[in-house]
Structure 1
Amino acid sequence: MNRQLILECIEFFTSTHKSNFYLKLFDAIDLSDFPEYPSSKYGPKGYSRHSLFKAFIVMKCEKFSHITELIDYLNNNLYIAHLCGFDIMKPLPSYWTFERFIKNIDNQFFSNIMKNLVLHLKDLGFINNSFVSADATPIFANTKFNNPKSFAKNKFDKANPPKSDKDCKLGVYTASNSHNEKNYKFYWGYKNIILTDATSGLPIAEITTTADIKEMSITVEFLKNTNNWFSLKETKFIADKGFDTKDIHNFIRYDLNGHAFIALNKRNTKNHTKLPNGNVLCDAGLAMHKDGKQYFNGYIKQKYCCPFRTKKDDSLCPCKHPKYFNGKKNRGCTKYVTIGTDYRSSINRDSIFFKKIYALRTESERYNSRWKNLNLEKAYVRNINSVSNLNTLGHISLLALALAAIKDGCIDKIKSLTGYKKLA
């Protein structure tokens, strides 16, 4: 009897600020398109999927890594469990109930919830397509092979995948965008590709892939799908060198009528020493002569030849290059310079305008930092559907935070989870 009287005042179990925070956060999320119970007519209904969804929002906002931490938290904060929609007079869901939910639910349900939040924020004027930044974040699988202290043999061998997570793949990442940066690391896992509004710092769309998928290979399709529900027309698209391909540039320019601000990826480009007029210098430091062009689709190859190619004097070459003594009519070395004729090659990446717009890409990095701070950089589940769902839940949490803060008149807290939680 005493227990029941205490439970009738369940607000005693949780601070007012935190309970208000979750009340406002859940109020900002529209679950009308998410069926609360499965459509099957047979068997018990089970727990409300809306309640389970809200519980995982709590998990991300409290920055828990494991489901067991969430269960302990709900059992010790019954009012939060009540706000999620659970009947606290009965036992809360077990670990396996939460695990099955996050593993088996179709990610499209979560994607639709995220889309609704983005469109709502767009209608309020806090998200737009003027400057859109793309970035990819590695997500490390729950395997001992990712532990730097692991001494397992061939731990980054494709023929030796981890047994603990059969969905993860081998990927590589680097922490620098420098053209000559060689410091990279291998890992087993996944990656999350995010489109961010580079002015507000809020996400627009996301997709989770295995770590072996290159960003450049799926970006065009990703942009097409996003453009179907969130217009990217005339956008200024900003990205690092991992997105530098002709297809992406051409899609942005000619399909979206936008402009690309993508760092140059010098793939196996030879840096020839040149004179101010553009003529290439040979190995001996002499100016080479132009010797015709070859025309290809999207680029031109300009040929340069030895200045003494028709001379018969063997002493003219200062460096005694082996090709100068080739015994042919046209002697000496040749070099080629590729001249692009497509949109990608026409961009002046040294201009002040380009650098000023490209600097907005740091907003993607700031958002990624906030997103990873929800304990999402390492996967503690072991299949791609669970990883994808948790990633989307992280984005939903941060979008719902922004919307709740706006509705509450706390616009300065739209990007501060801790700050708004204390203020609510």
Structure 2
Amino acid sequence: MLPQLRHRLTSWFATQVMRPPAVSWPLVRPSLNELAQYSPAMLPSFVQESAAAMKYLPLLGDLDWANFPESPHRMGPQAEAHAPFVAAYLIKLDKGLPSMPKLQEYLREQPALVWVLGFRLQPDPHTSWGFDVAASLPSHRHWSRLLRTLPHEQARFLLHASLQLLKVDLQAHLPDGFILGDEISLDTKHILAWVKENNPKCFVEERFDKTKQPKGDPDCKLGCKKKNNERKAADAATPTSEGLPASADLPPLEKGEYYWGYASGVVATKVPGLGEIVLADFTQTFDKGDQTFFHPLMAQTEAHLGRKPRFGALDKAYDAFYVYQYFHDAGGFAAVPWADRTDHHKTFDEAGLPLCEAGLPMPQKSTFFKQSHCLVPHQVGRFVCPLLFPDQSAESCPVAHKNWPKGGCITSLPTSVGNRIRHQLDRQSDDYKRIFNQRTATERINSQAKALGIERPKLRNQRSIAFHNTLIYVLINLRTRQRLRQAAATSTT
């Protein structure tokens, strides 16, 4: 029995077609940006034959991966590097993959991409590329955990690296006299948290009670998405409809749209004939006001540009004296619409003193330092009626102002030159309109970011959402650079 079985097995093996020996490719390879410098002929054949690998190698490879700031707190003697994961997450965003399992499924089908990205490979001599793709990739649960703990400095490093690449590539394409980042726009984009309180089809008792934190996200906060920033004038226009009697109910108050979530602030600039570039981003919870984004974003913009931008276009939410002061100190101005009541608009004399309704300069009686109920502590001057201070010089007000019997007019204004600029800025001038048109840069960036999934991320804490947002802006810059290089290649041919 045994000899017969041995004979059959020997005959069966003899009839099988023996596999050719697997080609051995190096399992340890250079960093991604070094691979991007190789000619296609220097790459393994299975990489050359992969459309995905040859697409993402030039798109992602020029980033400074060799100096990527790996976390010093990685545990274990053979801790996984973060750079391959971050590069893979950029691919997830570019492909529009909705989840980590989908990303892992895509990478399992692309062994060349796994090789290029730099994952630690597990040898497998039975494959033509020499490694086991599935065993070389972490589990999708590990990737989800990792995203919640990655330091944001890594994403910000890549944003800075993308800007450095664009600066180099743009040198030969910018018009004469154009300074990259000299004119910027700043805006915020709302982000909805992945919680049931944001689902109108799900019943939640007191869904907009800010004291009841959603269980699905421990960091998100309740905020208003849409509300008019303009304050109404005290002297209303003549009504066009019949008034309500005193006994009738008052009309309902204007309400905004409220959500639990976050907000992403972004600074962008236009490049003629090319598009928009992201200079900085900053993510906060949704309960923070728009003005709180200004200083962190401008500090980051200065770090990336190496200087202050001279001109800025912002919406009414940023109608504050320190915004005008910032761009004035840089040698330009801020194009921001007037958001206060019309009757609060002041005029000034040559010495910088506000004029009263009679056209007289109001002397400064005193100053005080305001530190509470304001974002930026500042000095405030108290200006009084010139006919009563320092000595009374008239018996009546030339315009018979109602405050004359009460001791005359008193107004309190910040003493900063930015406050005078805010009141005196000519918002009908051609220069103002030209700069204000730069706001379309952030609008276009926000539109691209929305298409990449920034508005409804399936993530559950602020750290991962902030990392996700910055990588979206990195990808937008890389796509802009890709268009630039394609246009340059077309023009040379």
Is TM more than 0.5 here? yes
Give 1:190's match in structure 2, choosing from 254, 258, 262.
262
1:101 corresponds in structure 2 to 146
Q: CA deviation at 1:159?
A: 0.9
1:141 corresponds in structure 2 to 193
Stretches (4+) displaced over 4 A: 1-14, 35-41, 175-183, 288-296, 298-303, 334-341, 408-412
2:207 corresponds in structure 1 to 155
Give 1:394's match in structure 2, choosing from 429, 447, 472.
472
* 1:138–1:190 Cα contact (<8 Å) kept: yes
2:116 corresponds in structure 1 to 83
Q: CA deviation at 1:365?
A: 0.3
Distance 1:369 1:411, change over 3 A: farther
Aligned ranges 1:9-408 → 2 under 5 Å: 16=51, 18-35=52-69, 42-46=76-80, 48-86=81-119, 87=121, 89-91=132-134, 92-125=137-170, 128-174=180-226, 184-199=256-271, 200-233=275-308, 235-254=310-329, 256-266=330-340, 269=341, 271=343, 293=362, 295=364, 297=380, 342-408=420-486
Letter in 2 for 1:59: K
* 1:130–1:234 Cα contact (<8 Å) kept: yes
Greater Rg, structure 1 or structure 2? 2
| C-alpha separation in 2, matches of 1:124 and 1:62 | 25
1:162-184 per-residue CA deviation (whole Å, 9 max, x = no partner) reads 11101111111228777679563
Aligned residues: 374
| C-alpha separation in 2, matches of 1:290 and 1:406 | 56
DSSP 3-state at the match of 1:172: strand
Q: CA deviation at 1:208?
A: 1.0
Q: CA deviation at 1:41?
A: 7.5
| C-alpha separation in 1, matches of 2:451 and 2:425 | 36
* 1:141–1:168 Cα contact (<8 Å) kept: yes
| C-alpha separation in 2, matches of 1:183 and 1:352 | 35
Letter in 2 for 1:243: Y
* 2:383–2:410 Cα contact (<8 Å) kept: no
| C-alpha separation in 1, matches of 2:74 and 2:192 | 36
Distance 1:353 1:338, change over 3 A: farther
Q: CA deviation at 1:134?
A: 0.4
Task: Report the identity percentage.
Answer: 22
1:102-147 per-residue CA deviation (whole Å, 9 max, x = no partner) reads 1111110210121121122123336812211101001111101111
| C-alpha separation in 2, matches of 1:140 and 1:259 | 33
Q: CA deviation at 1:302?
A: 7.7
Relative contact order (C-alpha < 8 Å, sep 6+): which is higher? 1
Q: CA deviation at 1:263?
A: 2.1
1:374-421 per-residue CA deviation (whole Å, 9 max, x = no partner) reads 112112111111111111111111222223343444589xxxxxxxxx
Unaligned 5+ segments in structure 2 are 1-17, 26-43, 122-130, 233-252, 345-356, 368-379, 387-394, 397-401
Distance 1:102 1:13, change over 3 A: farther
Distance 1:20 1:43, change over 3 A: closer
Distance 1:12 1:343, change over 3 A: closer
Unaligned 5+ segments in structure 1 are 273-287, 304-308, 311-323, 413-424
Q: CA deviation at 1:337?
A: 8.8
